[in-house]
Structure 1
């Protein structure tokens, strides 16, 4: 063979090999993407089952907790939670949209839930933190916390408004459900929970009245309560309650930099941002994208909050086993000893990772969240994965892997992962006319208000 022919043959062979290599790489990338999407749906579906198969039978609501070992504190297996139940209501809408259940199945379950809520104990329209799922009577959360819990009620109201918006243009049965959900929301007396002040109080009960005296000021997970209070068409509060109470006449603004990221708001003394659920609970329905007021850009605040949490776990200053870019997330969850509001700080980091922290942060830092999700499922599945998705928390340092779940941690996983995918709950909640008016009253900007 002539040199010229050899040279041309070599070029041709190289080109063919290169094309084959490129084809393999493309195919591999495609398979990775399919695998990621399949896992994403699997995590959503399995976690959704907490609120479907795992629900308390009589009420249809989420149980406060499910322990796969069958051991429950104070025999509270049938206790349901108003806040976690509200997250579960939103998860049911995800289940319908994803085809995990039919639209009729979802409607029927929501009718059961609404029927239970209509008859359950309420205190000036607010449900208690805990209810007995079999009777609808209040289950005291603590000795003085035996009445209305306005924060947990607001989490439920967030879900009820999404239900109303989802079904209000449907058939006759669906419109009736939407109307009943609307009535429950309108019966919450936010104005009562001011106790005559320009601030909202967390609790009130007939027995203890205002004894707990917990004035809710920012910044934490309770922004949604003030938005709802300003938006209520029946018991709305003036804008001063938000600005003087929640924002403390601007004292809520406390700019700082942490681990290379800026926070605009005071996170109640937390040096590196509070537990990560502060970036989740209020934003299951309240869309943080482009949401701004005179105090903060809430989208950027939440992104940076998540990045600080992630960076703390990656740098791992306390040297805990297993921490890193593929296993991170500090938030309120079960802890090695009881329950704790884990946060990135010397005293707040106890070596406990809660999967809900990373999974519910998909809208903010999706690559970091996906990496943790894949690692936990592919490499730790036998220790951290069960009937209702990832267990609530674990610690590799303590070799601690309890097979237990909490409603208030499971709900945000389903909802925030869907918001990352489609914005479903964000679009439903923000389509509420009252919410638009309330946000405008408080001086917010949002693409939904245009």
Structure 2
């Protein structure tokens, strides 16, 4: 099967060898026992948040791509989308008083001030940047310009920040104003490549549209189309959504897998991050359009992934009701897009933990097993590592921004709905959702 999603991402990363990793896991990190469910959720969120707070780039405050040096790059690489997820983690930390509101606002302003001066292309940021200079670090041979998907993940976090930091202090006023000015000047419709009814993932001043990657569904990019329709100055029309996003080869499904009907997407649903990245901000409860009920979609995707791991057709060691979750992460073979149709025997903790809103009992069982039973091998200074395989006796020592962020944010959405309330309260987002034909309890009449 030809994957239309994240093609450049997977191609580049899966052909690279993971380099030496940081020894940040194991007995050196305290692991309190006999915690209540609420205490355990608090601890996991707080420890995972440290990836963005303690390990954030010292100059820019941006989220580093990963905790290990790899792919011929070092500590300078910061990631646009991962920073968006990190911004949401900082908001959670402020709300739960792990840091003060003033500390959170100062860090967000630091990031915003860095972005203000960083490379952008028609208002769109690159996938990777140098965290000290803001200069583009190319992601693959011709991916050296604007990445509209990563930019949408970044603005998912920036919009939440703008809705959260509403006080009339110098820091909060400044970050609100600068986020607004940057947001208003993202040229989303530029990425229709001259008015086509589809969004294109990449544009580069050196290579133009030569990446030629159209964004079709179903995958992690719903928020890209929603934000593109929400733009105050450069919005796409509904026909771009209908004829671009909703017409992919793997958009409509409707078949049953392990007894569960899957409305949209690849066979067996694909990696679980499809139901996490866009839905850190977009609340799927009651979210419907002409194509699907998105709460049903995400629950079905999660259920199929869970049932597949429980049935364990490949008989991998360690799979079961308390150890499940297949999504893109590091593996013993390098980076891979784990799913029921690409099952290497690797469980990615972010998969089950970020699915907390959709399968709370099953996710909590996995969380307790990961922490209580496997903690010596997979619990470290920034929470759970990126992946493990009991079958191959392999346990990552790496953490990735795009995997750590959803753990904090989706657990918080399960507990309080905080990020959903913030993102969905944006008047621009509400207008964009209406323009695309969505229904949601958040939409004002």
TM-score by length of structure 1 reads: 0.89
CA contact (8 A) 1:310 1:329 kept: yes
Distance 1:171 1:243 in 2: 42
1:262-302 deviation digits (Å, cap 9, x = unpaired): 1111x2xx321110000000000011010000000000100
* Partner residue of 2:428 out of 425, 434, 440: 434
In the alignment, structure 2 segments of 5+ residues that lack a partner are 1-32
RMSD of equivalent CA atoms: 1.4
1:162-201 superposed matches below 5 A: 162-196=160-194, 197-201=196-200
CA contact (8 A) 1:160 1:182 kept: no
Distance 1:168 1:283 in 2: 23
1:54-113 deviation digits (Å, cap 9, x = unpaired): 11101101100003xxx5331322200000011001110001011111000001111110
- Matching residue of 2:384: 390
Distance 1:237 1:276 in 2: 28
Cα distance, 1:167 vs. partner? 1.3
CA contact (8 A) 1:243 1:250 kept: no
CA contact (8 A) 1:230 1:441 kept: yes
CA contact (8 A) 1:250 1:295 kept: no
Q: Secondary structure at the match of 2:124?
A: coil
1:293-341 deviation digits (Å, cap 9, x = unpaired): 0000000100110011010000100000000000000000001111000
- Matching residue of 2:41: 40
Distance 2:175 2:310 in 1: 46
1:331-378 deviation digits (Å, cap 9, x = unpaired): 000011110000012xx0000000000000000000000000001111
Structure 2 residue 395 is the aligned partner of structure 1 residue 380:
no
Cα distance, 1:252 vs. partner? 2.8
Structure 2 residue 406 is the aligned partner of structure 1 residue 412:
yes
1:107-122 superposed matches below 5 A: 107-122=105-120
How many pairs are equivalent? 411
- Matching residue of 2:50: 49
Q: Secondary structure at the match of 1:372?
A: helix
Q: Which has the higher contact order (CA 8 A, sep 6+)?
A: 2
1:302-381 superposed matches below 5 A: 302-345=298-341, 348-381=342-375
Distance 1:381 1:168 in 2: 39
Distance 1:287 1:56 in 2: 30
- Matching residue of 2:19: none
CA contact (8 A) 2:106 2:171 kept: no
In the alignment, structure 1 segments of 5+ residues that lack a partner are 1-31
Cα distance, 1:249 vs. partner? 8.8
CA contact (8 A) 2:218 2:248 kept: no
- Matching residue of 2:254: 255
Structure 2 residue 275 is the aligned partner of structure 1 residue 274:
no
- Matching residue of 1:23: none
